[in-house]
Structures are given as structure tokens and as C-alpha cells.
Chain A
Amino acid sequence: MAKEYLGEFEELVLTLVAALQEDAYGAAISEEIETKFKREVNLSAVHVTLYRLEDKGYIKSKMGGGTNERGGRRKRIFTITSAGMAMLRAMKETRLELWNMVPQLKMSGL
């Protein structure tokens, strides 16, 4: 586990898959990134990241329903696996640890 490493964008996508739950598919995720983070992202980048995360076993997918807006094409709904959940948690904890090491007072003391 310790060797596994997620890139910043991978982590972002993984977190969104966990957050969006039943609504986690390519177009929705990229829209979420664009609206929430005001960050330009290409659809293909999101898709490639999703497939990579799936290869690594952090998320799994199944085909969902289609809508008119999508010309009848079905969505691929991604859900986070427990391995993915553990990864997210581990990352969050290491980050917190690191954060705690930062001397907060010194900052305000200036």
C-alpha cells in the first residue's frame, strides 16, 4: 500500500467518484470539476484517468441508463471500491499529519 501513489488529478477524480455516488460518470465529473474548481479540463483526460483508476482497482464500473440529452447512449457509472476508499483515507491522513507538522504559530507570529 505504501508504494501506491496517486497523482493530484487522479486523487481529484477519485474523490469526485466517491462524492457523486450514483451520478459518477465521465461527463458529470468533468462538469463538476469545471464548475466547482473553475478548472478547464478535457473530457478525454477525465476518461483516461477513470480507466486508469479502474485498472488499479480503486473504482469499478457498470453500465447505467441513457438519456435523451446523450442521444440515447448509456452512461458508465463508476463507484469507489473499498481499496479506493482506503487509499483516499490514507492519503487524507498522511496529509493531515504533514499539516500538523507545520508550525502554525510561527505563521501568525510574524
Chain B
Amino acid sequence: MAVGKKNIGPPKWPLQFLRRICPEHLYEEIEGDLIQKFNRDVKNLGQRRAKKKLLWNTIRFLRPGIVLRNKFSFELIQLHMIWSYFKLAARGLVRYKMFSTINVLGLSVSMVACILILQYVRFEFSYDDFHRNAENIYRVATKVTLQNEVIVHETNTYDGISKALNTDYPEIKAATTVRGFNSDRTFIHYQDKNNKLVPLENFKAFDVDSIFFKVFSFPLLQGNSEVVLQDPYTALISETFSNNYFSGDAIGKSFQVYNGEETQHYKITGVLKDVPSNSHIKFDILTRSDPRTKNFWNNDVGFWDWGGQTYVLLADITLRGELENKLAQLALSKNGLKNNKDDYGQISTFELRPLGNIHLYSHLQEELETNGSSSLVYALIMLAIIILIMAWVNYINLSTAMSEEKIKSIGVRKVVGATRFSLVLQVLTESLLFNVLSVSLAVVSVHMLLPSFASFSGVPLTYGVLYDNTMLIGLLVFVLVSALMSGLYPAFVIASYYPVRALKGNLNTSRFALRKILVVFQFAAAISLIITTLVAYQQLSFMRDKELGININQVMIIKAMNFDKETWSDSEGGFTIDSTYSNKANLFKEGIRAQAGFLNATSLSHIPGQLPNWGTEFRAESIDPQKAYRLIAMGVDYDFLSTLQVKILAGRNFSHDFLSDRGNEGKRAVLINEAATKLLGFKTPQEAIHKHISTYWGADYEIIGVVNSFHQLSVKENVQPIYFILQPRALDYFAIHYQGRNATDAIEQARITWNNYFPDTPFNYFFLDEYFDQQYQYDRKFRDIVSLFSGLTIFIGCLGLFGLTSYSILKRTKEIGIRKVMGATASNIIALFTNDFMKLILIANAVALPLAYLGLKRWLESYAYKITLYWWLFVIPVILVLVIGVMTISLQILKVALKNPVNSLRSE
């Protein structure tokens, strides 16, 4: 083929193209004819036109009469070769056991992590996607501002909105409103087999309208979604409830709902499939009632009465902007009509949020379910990518290193006639084999890990990635991509060896600078993650250890049924209360206090860890009488301060001796916290005592005491300004401070007392410290996941380091022997090997430290109270990684360094 190329001949590449398409046995004469023609053309037409003609003539050979002549032999060779590539790869796999183990281990561990993360991420993104019209459903949220400050931003909206939406807006197909209620405040009784009335325990329910199923498509097992809720006082229950309470035969049965004021009977017209776990609306029961006519103030329901969560189904996704404009106009025209005095000066606006991104992005007040964390999801995706790249890096590093080992065989193959293409194909086959092996291993491990993963992440088992056909195709694509990513670079390195030099065993080693860069990347990632873990641990324990200013330890909370009959009366200036229930509540508290081991008991409207959804705007005469200052409100009794150990800084607590403390809506005595004194412009707590503050709408409150600013919410948030009012009636929670015995005794004791006073009400209790700690659940998850991943990255990084070292030891066994003979000590030899890697790890530090510092600084900014980024938070991980790295390297070298040099020198 290389004969006679001396002619200043035709351009080469058209002929190379010819070689590709032309059968071997015809190639020579055709090429000859083309060259002959070219040479004559050069004489007749000149060089340029001849070249063009040659190109054209060559291309014309791409025709079936030529190409089809080599079809059959072509396929035969390929199949045969691919089979041989597989054989070679399999042999290599078995022969270089350590290399294979490291690669398969690294790849499969990272793949397990990726598959599990994928599962979690897919679940989080799948929220509410099961509704038929999911992409056209929006939720209307409400933002209330006062003097340009947002005072309420929540998922509830007003009664008038859904009415207006259903009648006046052509772009909306349907609008439905749901109002949640649950076993905390409502009783549901059903008739069991013996016709006895039995209460339902722990239910979640929504009162909906007849339009509900025009918007949502929760699947029904029995009943037709078109008709089930058409009549008032009908209801649907879940499959589980139907089985548990009605033995699967619920249709036509009924139950009664008592909310403290009245009892209503509902007829069951259908059974729902249990609500999918990726729905942000979760319920066991749906009821449909008559629309309410009287509001909280005992007036007729108007536009501005709080309704529930409203969802609209748009006719078309493009109409969203139009609807938003119209809602803005509606708000503009109706805001002047607010006539409840509480709303004085407030401006409400409405926002639309697509159903699908409520779960990850909404984070408003009054969410139906704790929202997920989008930043956690994105952090996870990033971690998955990092860990996958780390495993690819290992593969790339080790297989380029090992290719030096196989260099002779590559040289021989090249001399015998292997093309670059076939060498590339062979290396890729090898990486495909590794990836298929790893992915199989990963799938098996994921299958085994799934149950514990489900309980850790909250993703239901049935939602497995592995049991979904489309995902299996995804997995296949993933394997191919992974094989390419890990195999492509080594393939080109190997294919580019010159045969003769390869046979001689000479290599230009400088091209392996890339290997060093990759090692630096791996360790930079590992170090950053370890620093992040450390900071996350520190920040979380800092927040949990921080003095809250309120005692949450050894406090038991019991949910109270707030069943006081209260009626608003303008003439009396407040509620008139039928106090039979609150008298019982007081007796219960007395009963608790009388027992040894219980220190105190109190009732309160909101417990620490809850943001009170109450609040009132005050004027601060001393600063700016025109401006409104919002304080959060909490209702407490006389024993709130002593039970939860909140300190009085000035003034006095509520007292039985002052009847005026009870007050009414127009005139009250209040306690405020220190944050509130500052907001209202008092310089010291003492200064605030006996000062009168007036609400924006005109009520007059006297400050009788100032308490310390305790953390009502987690330490992630700043302390809120709060005022406390005395509410002797029953409130939502009882808090009981117990001491001196273990918790189970306290629970039993409290249960007995509870049943004495409230025999009909279930005893629902929990511990305040655990409840408070739930606010850190995402921080905890983040910390756990980051620490797991930093462990994984350091593991994979060390695997790579281990492989590289053992390879270079293998290559330098003789050198070590000679050095020892010349008098080198074991530590000299360890230093010889560790120096190179030390340098890499140090460079990795230089890359990782600034990045980690900046990233963590930004992350910490989202916390109101944060740790300082001390230097040791960065130094410890660096030392840790250095030690682990040196240990990984030197453990292997030690074996060789301590060996008798005679043995290593003798081996040939």
C-alpha cells in the first residue's frame, strides 16, 4: 500500500475515503485508474481542476454497484472481532484482579449512590403529577401587606375569590376550595356492627365543594367522580378507612361530624384509592357540606372572609398571565371594601403557583404539608454527579496506567494490522464490560438497600426506580454513557501509541499530567465535602445547644379539644363564653399539679416550634404614630411563664388578683417580649411597664410585664416580637412539666388524669423537645447525607490512590531493591513514593479551601444564628485527608520496603 507515494500526487484524503467504501480486491485498480486520470487531467486542465475532478470521480464510486460488493464480508469480520474484544476484556478482568476490583467497587458504589439519589429526586419532582390536568392546575395564594410590609403570606385565601373565579372568569374551567380539618379539633363517630357510636382516631379530612373532581383526579375505587359529591352532606372515604371501619362495605353508610358546635351527618357515596404519597394534599376523608353563611364575627359571609385553599383549572396554560392580571385588578377593586376592623389598612394580593412546584418551591404559611427542600434536591444531584465523576476518574487513571503494562500486546496488535479504530473499540468494550458488571452489582445492592432507604428518605417502596420500564431504558443509556465517559480517554491514549516505540516499551510519560489533574480533582472534592460535613455538624449542634430562653426539656404536650362555645357580641365588646369546658380544663391542670413529679401545667395557644398565625399591628407613639408594627400574638394562662421557665425582665405576670388582666377585645393587659419592646421604641424593659399601646384599629392595651425573647421558632430564625394575652378559656395545647421520673411513668400518670376529666376525648401527647427538633429535620438530613458522601468520596479517592500506588510499586520493585542495596532506609523509600502524592493532595487543598470557604459562608448566611468559620474547621479535614492518603500509600510500600532486596532483584 505504501508503494510509489513519491509522486507529487493527488490529495490523499479522497483516496482514503475510497478505501473505506471500496472492497479490498477492487481497491488497487480503481485507485490506479483514478490516479492515472488525475495525472492526465493535471496535464490538460491544471492542478486545481484536476483535484476537483478527482474528488468528484471518487465520490461517484459511492454507489451500490461498488459498495454492496463488500457487504457480507464486512459484517462477518465485525461480529467476530467484537466477540474477541469481549474475550480479551474478560481475560484482562480476571488477570489484573486488583485493578478490576478497584474499578468495579468504585463504579458500583457510586452507581448505588446515583440510583438511590435518582429515586429520591424523581419522587420529589413527581409531586402531584398524577392529576389528569396537572400542568394546568394552579393554587391561589394570598399575600397581605400593611404599609408595604408583608404581614401574611399564606396558602389560604378568601371566600369571595373562589366564588368570583367560578362565575366571572372565562379562562378558568373550574375553581375549587378545600378546607382541612382533622382529629385534633373534630370528632367523627360512625356506627359499628353493634350499632354503637365509635370515634375515628387520627384522621385527616377536607371539606370540599362539588367542583373538586373537575379540578383534581384522585382515583375512585367505588362511585363515579361526576356524581359522588353533587349533594350536600355526602362524603368519600379512603380504601384503608373503608376496610378498617366498614369492613370494605362503606357505600350508603354514614358518619357524624362534631366540631364543638354542631353535629352533621354525612352519607358515604364513594371510596377513594388511598391518596398517593406524592400528593401535597393528603386525606382519609372528603366531605361536602353546605356553604357556610355566618362568619367568625357572626356576620354574613362576605368577600374578605378567610376560606380555604383554592385551586383553579385553567383552560389553557397560556392564560396564566391574563388571570394574574385579572386577579390583581380584583384585589385592587375589592381592597377598599374590607370591613372587618382587624383588616384595617391591609392590602391583599393574590398569586398563582403551578400545582407541580408547590412541594419543592412554595414554603408559605399554612402549607397543607411540610414542603420539600429544593436546595437539598439540587445538592443531591450535584453530589451524585461528583461521585460518579470520581469513579470515572479512577477508571481513567487506572486503565491508562495499566495500558503501560499492556503496551507490548498493543504494539503487537498494531504491527499485525489493528487499526486505531479497532483498538479504540476494544478499550471501549472493556469499559463497557466493567460498567455492565458494576451496574448489575449496583442494581442488586440497591434492591437490598431499598427498604432501609425507603424509611430513611420517605420515598415509598412502590416508587422504585428499578421496577419501572422507562427507567430501565434510562439505566441502559446510563451504562452506555458511563462506559463512554470512563473509556473514551483511555481508548485514545492507547490507540495513539506508536507501534515501534510501544514494542520497545518506551513511553512518553509526560502525557500523564492529566492523571495528576484528575487526582487533584478527586481530593479537592473529598476535602471540600469533609469540611462541609464538619461545618454542618458544628452548625447543627450549635443551634441545638443554644440557650432558647424557654424550657422545652421534660415537657409533655397534650392536644386539647378547644370546645368552648364562644359567641361574638359587639355589645359586650368580645366573646361571650360558655365556660363548662374551660372549667374542666382548669380542674385538669389542678389535678396534674397536685401529683408529685409534675411541676406545673399550663394551657397555651401555640407551642414553641410553631409560628403563631395570629398577630396584630400596633402604633408606637414614641417613634412614628402613623406607622404600624406587627406583633405576633399568643394566648396563655396564668402559669405559662412558670411552667416553661420564661423570665420576667420587668413588671409582673398575669395575676388572679387583677380582674382587669382578663380584659376584653377593646381593653386588655398584655405581656410583651424584649424584642417587642425594642420594636416599639422602648429603651429598656422598665420603660415599657404601664405604657399603653394601641392597635392599628383602635384597641387599647396596657403593658404589665416584659419577658425575655425566647426562641419561639428554631434558631435558624431571628426571635420574633410577641405579645401575650391572658385567655382563661381552654386553648389548643396543655404543656406539662414533669420531673424526677422517667417519661413513660409521666405519660401513664397524665393519661389517667386526662381520662378522669375528658373521658370522651382521645389522649394525644408528644414531647416538646422532639417536636421542636423537627424543625431541624432538613438540616439533619443534609448533614447526614453530606457526611455519607464525604465518606464515599474519600473511599473512592483512596481506592484510586491505592491502585495507582500499587501499580507504580509493581513497576519500581527493582528500583526499590537497588536503592535498598545502596543503603536507603524504609522511611526513605516511603518518602520517595509519598512525595509525589503529597504534592497532589496539597494542590488539591489549595483548590478546595477557598472554594469551600466561600460556599460555606454563603450557606451559613441563611441562618440567623451561625457559627464562626474557625481556621480549625479547615485544618482538621486537611490533616485527616493527608493522614488517610499517606496511610493508603505507605501501607503498601511498607511491605516492599521491608522486603529483602535480594528477592526483588532476583525476580525476572
Residues of A at under 8 Å CB distance from B?
A: 25-27, 30-31, 42-45, 47-48, 51-52, 63, 66-76
Contacts and interface: CB of A to CB of B under 8 A. Distances in A.
A76 B29 contact: yes
10 contacts: A43-B33, A48-B66, A66-B32, A69-B39, A71-B9, A71-B32, A71-B35, A72-B4, A74-B28, A76-B29
A44 B36 contact: no
B32 A44 contact: no
B906 interface: no
Given A47-B66, A72-B4, A76-B26, 4 more contacts: A27-B33, A31-B40, A51-B26, A75-B32
Contacts of A71: 4-5, 7, 9-10, 31-32, 35
Contacts of A44: 57, 60-61, 63, 65-66
B37 interface: yes
Nearest to B23: A51
A25 to B, nearest CB: 7
Q: Which 5 A-B pairs have the closest CB atoms?
A: A73-B32, A72-B4, A48-B65, A76-B29, A27-B33
Contacts of A25: 29, 33
Secondary structure class of chain B's binding surface, majority of residues: helix
Contacts of B35: 69-71, 73
B14 to A, nearest CB: 13
A70 B4 CA distance: 9
Nearest to A71: B35
Interface of B: 3-5, 7, 9-10, 26, 28-37, 39-40, 57, 60-61, 63, 65-66, 69
A70 B33 contact: yes
Contact of B31 (A48, A51, A73): A73
A67 B36 CA distance: 9
Nearest to B65: A48
Nearest to B9: A71
A51 B69 contact: yes
Contact of A26 (B3, B30, B63): B30
A48 B37 contact: no
A43 B60 contact: yes
A48 B63 contact: yes
Report which residue of B28, B32, B69 has the largest number of chain A beta carbons within 10 angstroms of its beta carbon: B32
Contacts of B29: 25-26, 63, 73-76
A43 B32 contact: no
A55 B30 CA distance: 17
Contacts of A67: 36
A52 B4 contact: no
Contacts of A70: 32-33, 35-36, 39
A51 B34 CA distance: 17
A47 B30 contact: yes
Contacts of B3: 72
A42 B36 contact: no
A26 B34 CA distance: 9
A66 B31 CA distance: 11
Contacts of B37: 27, 30, 43
A73 B66 contact: no
Nearest to A66: B32
B814 to A, nearest CB: 49
A69 B63 contact: no
Nearest to B28: A73
Contacts of B4: 66, 68, 71-73
A74 B32 CA distance: 7
A10 to B, nearest CB: 12
A51 B26 CA distance: 10
A52 B32 contact: no
A69 B10 CA distance: 11
A51 B65 contact: yes
A9 B30 CA distance: 19
A6 B849 CA distance: 82
A16 to B, nearest CB: 15
Contacts of B69: 51
Contacts of A27: 32-33, 36-37
A70 to B, nearest CB: 4
A26 B28 CA distance: 12
A71 B10 CA distance: 10
B65 A69 contact: no
Nearest to B64: A48
Contacts of A69: 35-36, 39-40
A68 B31 CA distance: 13
A74 B87 CA distance: 39
Contacts of B66: 44, 47-48
